[in-house]
Chain A
Amino acid sequence: MAAGLEQALSELRRELMQVSLPLPLPTATEASTTAVQLAAQLGDYVLPRLKNLEAPLLAVVGGSTGAGKSTLVNSLLARVVTRSGVLRPTTKSPVLVYNPADEHWFDDNRILAGLTRTRATSDAPTALQLVPEPSLPVGLALLDAPDIDSVVTANRTIASTLLAAADLWLFVTSAARYSDAIPWDFLTDAAARAVVLAVVLNRVPPEAAEIVPDDLRRLLDERGLAEVPLFVVPETTATAAGLLPDAAVSELRSWLATLAADENERRAVVLQTLDGAITQTIAKTQAVAQAITDQVSAATVLGADATAAYQEAARIVSTQVSDGSLLRGEVLARWHEYIGTSEFTKTLDAKVSWLKERFLGLFRVAPAAGTQVQLAAGSGLEVLLAEAGDAAAERAAQAWDDNPAGRNLLRAHPELARSSASYQAALARTIHEWQADVLNLVAREGKDKRKTARIAAAGVNGLGAALMLFIFANTGGLTGAEVGVAGGTTVVAQKLLESIFGDTAVKTLAQTARDELAARVQGLLASELARFTKVLDELDIDTRQPRRFHKLAAEVDTLRRERELTTAGQRGTVLLPPPELLSLTAPVHSAAESAADFDDIVDAELVEEEPENTPPDVTETTAAGTTPDTTPDATQYPTPDSLDAATEDGVSL
């Protein structure tokens, strides 16, 4: 069972480390950070903890700069193990304090593998100072973390990582800082994740002792942290060694001692935090998967825009090719030259021009009239295709620029806004090849001996030209007035072709040639479109990753629930204040339940399991908090008197 959950989580971690969110969508930066943090937490904490449930409980002392974390840790241990000072931030590298008997758990890279272990004092944020301390109970380790909100970025990052890897939070704030926004972000996250935590209100000056703890308690209640124990440490002058007097920290110390002594209690804490972490991982994985889906959609939209632009170009070209546009201008002039002169002058011209050609042909080569038409038609097509390609590139680039996700891509590849450098040559080649195809078609048609003679008279070039002109004016689409100009031209061409090849053959020829042209144009534009799709492919967004995430998340969830059945039987999944104080606190969920019976207590705990799976309902706890039995002051957290009673039970450091 455990192995299955571990395996699933390992795979999830592997998957999270390969998350790539290249497009600048609103969800991208947050999801990237989340993915990195989740992967880190899985590796630093969840997986090692699953493997070794009996490892010592790691209590991380975290909080703002200047709240007094290091002084507190030193005072709890009654010896200076971590440096504290006036200049802020003080703690730069984390300090791990443990009982020497637990040494074997901490001297390897079992947890927090990213930090290098060292025995010497260090200032580097990526180092973990190891301090063995016999006065600390076995099974409990204290970690003095750097701050969560100073100018030093490394501190903030490491502090986040450490708090994510903790079994128990000792969150330290001060009378000056207790309503700062950043610590509350952490506390709210802890509430959502059902991390077991205790809040220490440190450095409380005498004038604030009446007001501030109550105010803090109110804030905790408002945010779903009503059950969290709150310890108040007054601001006193330090002893010569820079430690706080014993009286100030005794309650906290004894609470920790109680916790450390009871193995079941420790296990309960470990399991609750672990379960909370896994649950939150599942929820956050869904968010990461959604962000990846957003990326995929955005990339798809960009691809669709580019494709649409080029399809539009292809459509325009195919319309222009068959509606007679190519029959104007140069083409018309050359065609008229070819056939437009009257018979008489044509013969006369032919003879005279034959003489002229022979004479001048010694000096230059003038292409025959039929070839002239082809050249003109070809250059017309070239102009149309060049413009279509450029216009399509511009349209696609405009669509990408309008899209915030595509804008950066376009800035990185400005050459996409125009056709590629080789487009001109490619299209000239394409047209040339197509015209050669047409001539081949004509020549092939004329294999029949009867036609060969007639073809010879008109010339293959002339017939090829005629066929092209026929294709360029699909008279089916022209209105009556336009037929006069374009139609007149094609009627002649059509008659010429029909007289040689016959009616049906001409239609087949025209259709084949037309299809050829369409296919070539399509290929040409497709290679231009490929530049856009290549840029999108280079983004390397894994389209199947969201599905894998959902599958893994579901798997982890199922396995987690199965495990829960085995752990629910164990006592005490929520850390309440020490049992002696239960009578002083009101039942959290229902006024009907009294807190006297042991069985009732168990019921209350079972009910309290729910907050692990669902976000805590703030209104519920505040409603409970205002029941007449509870006065929002000293009874909500251990007073020195009651804890002295606790220590009398014989549990002490």
Chain B
Amino acid sequence: MNAAPPVSSLLGTRAAALREAAGYAVGRSSEANVAQALRVTRQVNRRLAFSGEHTVIALAGATGSGKSSLFNALCGTQLAISSVKRPTTGRAMAAVWGQTMPGDLLDWMDIPVRHLMETTPAGLDGLVLLDLPDYDSIVTAHRGEVDRLVAQVDGLIWVVDPQKYADNALYEGYLSRFKAYADVMLVVLNQSDRLAPADLSAARDHLRSLLAAAGLGKAKVFTTSALNGAGIDTLRAEVAALVKSKRLAATRLLHDVESAALLLAADLNRERNRRVSDTSAVRLVAALSSAAGVAQVADAVRLATQTRGTTLTGWPLVSWLGRLRPDPLKRLHLEAFAPAKTAAPGEAGVPTTAALAGRSALQVSDIQQAQVSTALRNLCDDVSRGLNPGWAQAVREASLSHEHTLADELDAAVTTTDLGTSTPVGWWRFVRVVQWLLLTVAAIGLAWLGSAPVTKYFGISPLPLYRWHDIPLPTWLCGGALIGGFLLGILVSFGVRASANHRATAATAALQAAIRTVADTAVLTPVNTELERYARFVAALARALP
């Protein structure tokens, strides 16, 4: 009794793991394998729900092998009908040893014919022995019953006879499926009375070699004769040993769980990342950025900044012409972030209604949609390398879950990101002030120079013209200021270009961050969820297998 708990608790954990794995694999791994796994877990639950008192062992074999005779011999009574007419047994029959009749267990197995034995020999307490129909006669209904019960019972005794022990129906139809089940099956060579002793041992050895070839070399082989009783006691003792351990049901179910898990684990790629790799994510964001036209916006920002800067800090006499050039940002309907006088610093990130309603001129086009689709496809190819087709398809569908809204979301990201263009660069104002100052000085100088006719008109003495190096001071002032302003404008233009580039880079970064957020919600998160699911599936399967 001490050995019992480990097996059933092992069964419990493995069956739970298999159920979990099957749950993850629904819609992804092959339908048949998932259905089999679910069937096995259901069966484990049902069988374990019945009391562990009873062990169900079935006698299975071809028509004429003597199952019913053997059944009678083991029971010690003539319960089952055996006759020369074939096939004989039409429906399964149960003989129960013990105190109680496990009605619910037998109902679950759909065995209406049942007998509770009066006396229970030592060791057989709790045994439910079944006499099954055949699996190879012309009555095909028998085969269906055998298939059903062979899947449900705890232990199997395969009954063969000297004529039929090498029939293909046994090996191809059944034994090949039960390679790992050698510890819950017995093979009995019945009708041993038909052979001379030497022939019998030759036949038994040959049977052993056939079983070994089928992968069941470890299965125990017995020879019996239901007619004269040879070998019956040995067989009964072996059955009693199986029943006494009370582990047969759990052992058989453990094998079932393992087989089902192996089916699901066929060509699995165990080395999987749980998330999309950083390189793939970066590639996706780059592709989505180009689809959303980030480069163009950055370009526009650069040009706009440059123009504004030149207008502000250039030589005032000429720079006003820059206002005539159309603002690139305005053309893209991103003028919400142009230097609007009404925009308060705190509201820098809020777009105007015009931008939202009218959408940017970079609005969703088929080209963008095409670029987005290509980017998604490349991501999927990267990520699902090595996955089974069903899972790869699931990853693809996950990446397409936001397909219809992705382009719109990208566009919204572009329009609502603060491009940092509303605030002019600090030192421009300073330079502007200097430029105006110089202009004022030039104007003063000019006024000074041109003051002579005015003073003459008003009769005031002319203003003194100081000379320095033979050139009057006002001329110095005028010329110097003008030239100074001009030179300052040119000098500053380099600075303006630098600022423009800086602004463009900053805008690109801001846009890409916004796109990254969109990509995360719309694409990366669903794909990561799917990959996580796959990783969990693999982990659960590993727990379900020894």
Q: How far does the Cβ of A19 sit from chain B's closest Cβ, in whole Å?
A: 26
Chain B 274-296 per-residue mask, 1 if CB under 8 angstroms from chain A, else 0: 00000000000000000001001
Chain A 202-243 per-residue mask, 1 if CB under 8 angstroms from chain B, else 0: 010101100110010001000000000000000000000000
B517 CB within 8 Å of chain A: no
Q: Are B166 and A65 in contact (CB under 8 A)?
A: yes
A633 CB within 8 Å of chain B: no
A341 CB within 8 Å of chain B: yes
Q: Are B373 and A341 in contact (CB under 8 A)?
A: no
Q: Are A384 and B296 in contact (CB under 8 A)?
A: no
Closest to A148 in B: B168
For residue B64, which residues in chain A have a CB less than 8 angstroms away from its CB?
176-177
Distance in angstroms between the alpha carbons of A227 and B325 in the assembled complex: 109
For residue A394, which residues in chain B have a CB less than 8 angstroms away from its CB?
377
For residue B165, which residues in chain A have a CB less than 8 angstroms away from its CB?
88
Q: How far does the Cβ of A432 sit from chain B's closest Cβ, in whole Å?
A: 18
For residue A207, which residues in chain B have a CB less than 8 angstroms away from its CB?
84
For residue B206, which residues in chain A have a CB less than 8 angstroms away from its CB?
87-88
Q: Interface size on B (CB < 8 Å)? A: 53
Q: How far does the Cβ of B226 sit from chain A's closest Cβ, in whole Å?
A: 14
With A212-B84, A332-B361 known to touch, is A86 a contact of B162 (CB < 8 Å)? Answer: yes
Distance in angstroms between the alpha carbons of A215 and B85 in the assembled complex: 7
Distance in angstroms between the alpha carbons of A385 and B167 in the assembled complex: 62
With A65-B166, A329-B367 known to touch, is A205 a contact of B84 (CB < 8 Å)? Answer: yes
Q: Are A149 and B169 in contact (CB under 8 A)?
A: yes
The 8 Å CB contact of A177, one of B163, B202, B321, B373, is: B163
For residue B166, which residues in chain A have a CB less than 8 angstroms away from its CB?
65-66, 88-89, 150-152
For residue A174, which residues in chain B have a CB less than 8 angstroms away from its CB?
163
Q: Interface size on A (CB < 8 Å)? A: 61
Q: Are A180 and B138 in contact (CB under 8 A)?
A: yes
With A383-B374, A401-B389 known to touch, is A87 a contact of B366 (CB < 8 Å)? Answer: no
For residue A485, which residues in chain B have a CB less than 8 angstroms away from its CB?
361
Q: Are B365 and A328 in contact (CB under 8 A)?
A: yes
User: Using a Cβ cutoff of 8 Å, how many contacts connect chains A and B?
Assistant: 151
Closest to B325 in A: A345
Q: How far does the Cβ of A389 sit from chain B's closest Cβ, in whole Å?
A: 10
Q: How far does the Cβ of B534 sit from chain A's closest Cβ, in whole Å?
A: 19
A119 CB within 8 Å of chain B: no
For residue A533, which residues in chain B have a CB less than 8 angstroms away from its CB?
none
Q: How far does the Cβ of A146 sit from chain B's closest Cβ, in whole Å?
A: 12
Distance in angstroms between the alpha carbons of A271 and B137 in the assembled complex: 33
Chain B 356-383 per-residue mask, 1 if CB under 8 angstroms from chain A, else 0: 0000011101111111011001000100
Closest to A344 in B: B324
Q: Are A181 and B137 in contact (CB under 8 A)?
A: yes
Closest to A379 in B: B367
Closest to B66 in A: A176
A308 CB within 8 Å of chain B: no
For residue B325, which residues in chain A have a CB less than 8 angstroms away from its CB?
341-342, 345, 349
B221 CB within 8 Å of chain A: no
Contact residues, A311-349 vs B (CB, 8 A): 320, 325-326, 328-330, 332-333, 336, 340-342, 344-345, 348-349
The 8 Å CB contact of A66, one of B164, B169, B332, B365, is: B164
For residue A177, which residues in chain B have a CB less than 8 angstroms away from its CB?
64, 86, 163-164
A638 CB within 8 Å of chain B: no
For residue B389, which residues in chain A have a CB less than 8 angstroms away from its CB?
401, 411
B140 CB within 8 Å of chain A: yes
Q: Are A326 and B367 in contact (CB under 8 A)?
A: yes
Closest to A181 in B: B138
Distance in angstroms between the alpha carbons of A202 and B494 in the assembled complex: 112
Distance in angstroms between the alpha carbons of A86 and B194 in the assembled complex: 10
For residue A212, which residues in chain B have a CB less than 8 angstroms away from its CB?
84-86
Contact residues, A276-305 vs B (CB, 8 A): none
Distance in angstroms between the alpha carbons of A384 and B163 in the assembled complex: 73
With A207-B84, A345-B321 known to touch, is A176 a contact of B365 (CB < 8 Å)? Answer: no
Chain A 154-179 per-residue mask, 1 if CB under 8 angstroms from chain B, else 0: 00100000000000000000111111
Q: How far does the Cβ of B41 sit from chain A's closest Cβ, in whole Å?
A: 28
Q: Are B167 and A150 in contact (CB under 8 A)?
A: yes
A residues adjacent to B (C-beta < 8 A) = 64-67, 86-89, 149-153, 156, 174-182, 184, 203, 205, 207-208, 211-212, 215, 219, 320, 325-326, 328-330, 332-333, 336, 340-342, 344-345, 348-349, 380, 383-384, 386-388, 390-391, 394, 401, 411, 418, 485
Instruction: Please name the 4 residue pairs, one residue from A and one from B, whose CB atoms are nearest each other, closest first.
Output: A387-B370, A66-B163, A208-B84, A176-B64
Sample 27 A-B pairs with CB under 8 A, ordered by A number: A65-B164, A65-B166, A150-B166, A151-B167, A156-B168, A174-B163, A176-B161, A176-B164, A179-B86, A180-B62, A207-B84, A211-B84, A212-B86, A219-B138, A325-B366, A329-B362, A330-B293, A341-B326, A345-B321, A348-B321, A349-B325, A380-B367, A383-B374, A384-B370, A387-B370, A390-B374, A485-B361
B residues adjacent to A (C-beta < 8 A) = 62-64, 83-87, 136-140, 161-169, 171-172, 195, 199, 202-203, 206, 210, 293, 296, 321, 324-326, 331-332, 361-363, 365-371, 373-374, 377, 381, 389
Other A-B contacts than A86-B162, A342-B325, A349-B325, 19 sampled, CB-CB below 8 A, are A65-B166, A150-B168, A151-B166, A176-B161, A176-B163, A179-B87, A182-B136, A182-B169, A211-B83, A215-B85, A328-B363, A330-B293, A340-B326, A345-B324, A348-B321, A387-B374, A390-B373, A418-B377, A418-B381
